[in-house]
Amino acid sequence: MPVLDIRNLTVSIDAKDGASVVRDISITIEPGETVCLVGESGSGKSVSSLATMGLLPKGALKVTKGEILLDGEDMLTLSPAQLRDRRATRMSMIFQEPMTALNPVIKVGEQIAEVLEAHTKLSNAESHAKVMDILGQVGLPDIERIAKSYPHQLSGGQRQRIMIAMALILEPRLLIADEPTTALDVTTQLQILRLIKELQEKHGTAVLFITHDMGVVAEIADRVYVMNRGDMVESGKVMDILAAPKMDYTRRLLSSVPSLVPRPARPAASAKIALQVVELNKVYGGGGFLSKSAGTHAAKAVNFDLKAGRTLGIVGESGSGKSTVARCVMRLIDPSSGGIRVGGQEIADLTPRGLHPFRKRLQMVFQDPYRSLNPRLSIEESIIEGPMNYGMPRAEAVAKADELLELVGMPAGSAKRYPHMFSGGQRQRIAIARALAMEPELLVADEAVSALDVSVQAQVLDLLAEIQERTQIAILFITHDLRVAAQICDEVAVMKRGEVVEYGLTADVLGAPQHDYTKSLLAAAPGRDWDFPNFRPVAA
């Protein structure tokens, strides 16, 4: 008998004649099996898992049809108390954001012990021993100290281990993991994936793994279900899906995954250096009144050049200093020392007034398109604000905005509408149009495609390449995603703890890495052995 058997599940908006968000899907998971549920945002994959746990947001969504059988028992017919009783004992869930999924004001050891309090009658000593045991099992060091820590005192990877400990302490039959590694760095992700696998084998847990990342799928799945906009597209063994997808949607999804094999650098079209960074240093904090801390060295002696019409990628994990460098280049923060030359002119020590003429030449696109556009301004207002600041007459700026919106592939008539009326991908296009309106020489893209679904990501990357070809703009591309870097960058600088450890042509750095850190990053990239767009293993 399968551990989980979802039959013809339909979830709708909880209102009269509410539209359905998940339609007639069926999923089965056998004991000890890992099943991946993949899809882009809005596909209904998270909703399906929340429905299984009985955690659909009350008053917003409800199950309107189907059965959810856990070991043959229908979860949908249980009373709230019975359902509570099944949670953590028979089925558990871990979530995407280990930063927010733990209660910030309770020690993590207590948060784990709470599961035991709710479901068992263990004494304090027994409960403590069990908590220590599971903390050891999830591979945490110095467990007595960790148990007494608050979540903010732990790293992202450690917090996710705590979540896993909490979920598995009562050895549930089913573990639902909703994008559990999406917010983590690649090396941490690899560790967490291994940990889940190891514990799964040890306890025979069935795992429903929800992800948008095809690399992770290739890494861990036994079987795969593909969802799109609330419908089940197809399902099958992982190799069948990756090598011979039957449906168009799956084919498109796989084709959009950027390859880890770097593209060759384009021939330099001009020798003009757009940006030169010399011995850049940035130290945060330290030295305040009655303060003891020494400050954090976020960027240490960073050097690089970027020619017009080329793309330089800065890759690294969180805390590597890549965003600090981007912000220094934009002079959003002041560098502690070193030089930033734009078109040969030093801007590192200019006053705000002196910087004014240069602002126009540097523009930035941010990570989160949902927060980087002012929600109270129409698209057009957002785009023309910059050029008008530099003296362009309104009529001319409006005409230019229309032109740019067309360039970035926005439908006609978008100009008068507001950001909330657009999807994430469209908003990122708008953000790009806004940056281009200033006709900059340098575009800084800080994780500009990280928040987007792969298919949208591919479109935005194509758009950037096309614009670059047309305008010879230089792009400084900050990303943690080696796949994206391999496909868009001519050159790459790899950063670790504030230092550039390897810098050169993308084909060299990612194709034949010299530094151990670059090697470990590449080794940790999930699905590195599979060539997704070509539906086959990477040719050795």
Question: Given the rule CB under 8 A, which residues bind another protein?
Answer: 53, 55, 59, 84-89, 92-93, 95, 97, 100-106, 114-115, 118-119, 150, 152, 163, 166, 289-290
Q: In the bound complex, what is the minimum distance in angstroms from residue 62's beta carbon to another protein?
A: 16
Nearer to another protein by Cβ, of 52 and 479: the residue is 52
Q: In the bound complex, what is the minimum distance in angstroms from residue 167's beta carbon to another protein?
A: 8
The amino acid at 227: M
Q: Tokens for 502?
A: 């390897």
CA distance 334 to 452: 30
Q: In the bound complex, what is the minimum distance in angstroms from residue 249's beta carbon to another protein?
A: 30
**Taking the CA of residue 93 as centre, how many other CA atoms within 13 Å lie in the half-sphere pointing to its CB?**
20
Nearer to another protein by Cβ, of 55 and 247: the residue is 55
**Taking the CA of residue 103 as centre, how many other CA atoms within 13 Å lie in the half-sphere pointing to its CB?**
10
CB atoms within 10 A of CB 283: 17
Nearer to another protein by Cβ, of 371 and 536: the residue is 371
Q: In the bound complex, what is the minimum distance in angstroms from residue 72's beta carbon to another protein?
A: 20
Q: Tokens for 276?
A: 């030169």
Question: If you ran DSSP here, which 8-state letter would residue 87 be given?
Answer: B
The amino acid at 54: G
Nearer to another protein by Cβ, of 106 and 247: the residue is 106
Q: In the bound complex, what is the minimum distance in angstroms from residue 306's beta carbon to another protein?
A: 39
DSSP bridge partners of 87? 91
Q: In the bound complex, what is the minimum distance in angstroms from residue 455's beta carbon to another protein?
A: 27
Q: Which residues contact 471 (CB under 8 A, 6 or more apart)?
A: 436, 439
Nearer to another protein by Cβ, of 97 and 240: the residue is 97
Q: In the bound complex, what is the minimum distance in angstroms from residue 485's beta carbon to another protein?
A: 30
Nearer to another protein by Cβ, of 115 and 242: the residue is 115
Q: Which of 267, 313, 373 is nearest to 518 (CA)?
A: 313
Helix, coil or strand: residue 152: helix
Nearer to another protein by Cβ, of 104 and 141: the residue is 104
Nearer to another protein by Cβ, of 162 and 326: the residue is 162
No. of helices (H) and no. of strands (E), the chain: 19, 22
Q: In the bound complex, what is the minimum distance in angstroms from residue 93's beta carbon to another protein?
A: 5
- Using a CB cutoff of 8 Å and minimum separation of 24, what contacts does 445-448 make? 445/364, 445/365, 445/475, 445/476, 445/477, 445/478, 446/323, 446/326, 446/364, 446/365, 446/366, 446/367, 446/478, 447/323, 447/366, 447/367, 447/478, 447/479, 447/480, 448/365, 448/366, 448/367, 448/477
